Amino acid sequence: MSRKDFLVFGSPKIEQPEIDEVVDCLKSGWIGTGPKVHQLEQDFKQYKGSKYAVALNSCTAALHLSILAAGIGPGDEVIVPTMTFAATANAVIHAGATPIFADCQKDTMNIDPDDIQRKITNKTKAIIPVHFAGAAADMDAIMAIAKKHNLKVIEDCAHAIETEYRGRKAGTFGDFGCFSFYVTKNIVTGEGGMVITDNEEYANQIKILGLHGMSRDAWERFSDKGFKHYQVVYAGFKYNMMDMQAAIGIHQLSRIEKYWLRRKQVWEKYNQAFKDLPVYLPSPVEPDSRHSYHLYTLLIDTDKVKISRDEFLNKMTEQNIGIGVHYIALHSHPFYQKTYLYKEGDFPNAEWISNRTVSIPLSAKLSEDDVDDVIEAVQNAFHS
């Protein structure tokens, strides 16, 4: 009954133009940070409508450098959702500051503005909302809180390249928008990330911090415009993107709307197929907003059905379907419990989701047969 080959979760669609561009890059002899990275930055800032875009080697690096550029460090607190990937909180820790968790809303899974409000102290310097699964966070409420308390906003847009909130693009509300081109994300460069901002000083600082803290980047240093000395102005990091990565990204970005449309079709087919199962479907897209359709998450209705979430995961892998869990809330992981004394019971909504959530494959690469295999496997998991 089940498919012969394993359907890899979040497998990216790679097409011939990016393969050719990577080969071209290798043959050019310029594989480091150079003209292709510059082009990806230009294309990306045009897509998002931001003044500046700086390409880096991950979204984690983008978050880290945004926090540093905002002047946040030891003694400062930054509010992040507990329902997110570890990188959101770890970037705060890498900057020497303390992540303060907030609960999420049960339906949207996005950070709860009321809980942000409760967590603000005189040490709070910033909020990092995550546009969860591609659904825009409640940016009106979050920006109002930030304004009232004079906080920076750094948007974690790892799931949200195409997301819009009330007609405005995700990543352009806050001081910084941070994006990921990791292999499972909506468009990929292998590893890769981007920061967008409208603040020239922030953009320059991030560029310098991302390449050893040197005052000029390698492209200018080795160009034919004449030798230039550099000065080290910070103890910087090695976070630059290279042209081999950007070679993939340029073509991926040119197909972003096509891929979005395909994932939207799959999303709608899943919604239709699962509407009578003992699951909670993803919450509907908010009016005037755009979902990026990054993750399709089902919540197993454990009150109505005997199987646990973990049994469901096993039943899916037995049927050769790759699945994910996004996420077990951060406050349930040993590091954050040990270091910040969080415990079970602290964030009821995030825990409720953590115990029920499963993500099933959603990628532009899925064929109609793949989608049918996923649907059949989900139905089998409840009926066997």
Ligand X SMILES: *Cc1c(COP(=O)(O)O)cnc(C)c1O
Task: Write down the least CB distance from residue 79 to ligand X, Å.
Answer: 15
Buried b (16+ CB within 10 A) or exposed e, 239-253: bbbbbbbbbbbbbbb
- Which CB, 187 or 298, lies closer to ligand X? 187
Looking at the Cβ atoms of 67 and 381, the one nearer to ligand X is 67
Which tokens hold the place of 87? Answer: 């990188």
Nearer to ligand X, 89 or 377 (CB): 89
Strand partners, 211: 238
CB neighbours of 46 closer than 8 A, spacing ≥ 6?
Answer: none
Q: Which is nearer to ligand X, 84 or 124 (CB)?
A: 84
Please choose, from the candidates 62, 101, 64, the residue with its C-alpha nearest in 3D space to the C-alpha of residue 83: 101
Whose tokens are 């040993």? That residue is: 334
Residue 185 appears among annotated catalytic residues: yes
User: Which of the residues 36, 48, 152, 185 is marked catalytic?
Assistant: 185
CA torsion through residues 218, 223, 225, 227, sign = positive
Nearer to ligand X, 110 or 319 (CB): 110
**Beta carbon of residue 327, minimum distance to ligand X (angstroms, whole number):** 8
Residues that bind ligand X (CB under 6 A): 58-60, 84-85, 87-88, 130, 156, 158-159, 180, 182, 193
> Of 141, 84, 81, 134, whose CA–CA distance to 111 is shortest?
81
SS3 percent helix, strand, coil of the chain, rounded to 5, is 40, 15, 45
C-alpha–C-alpha distance, residues 182 and 47, integer Å? 19
Task: Find the shortest distance in angstroms from Cβ 278 to ligand X.
Answer: 27
Q: Cβ 69 to ligand X, closest distance in Å?
A: 17
CA distance 264 to 283: 14
Distance in Å, CB of 268 to ligand X, minimum: 23
Provide the annotated active-site residues: 185
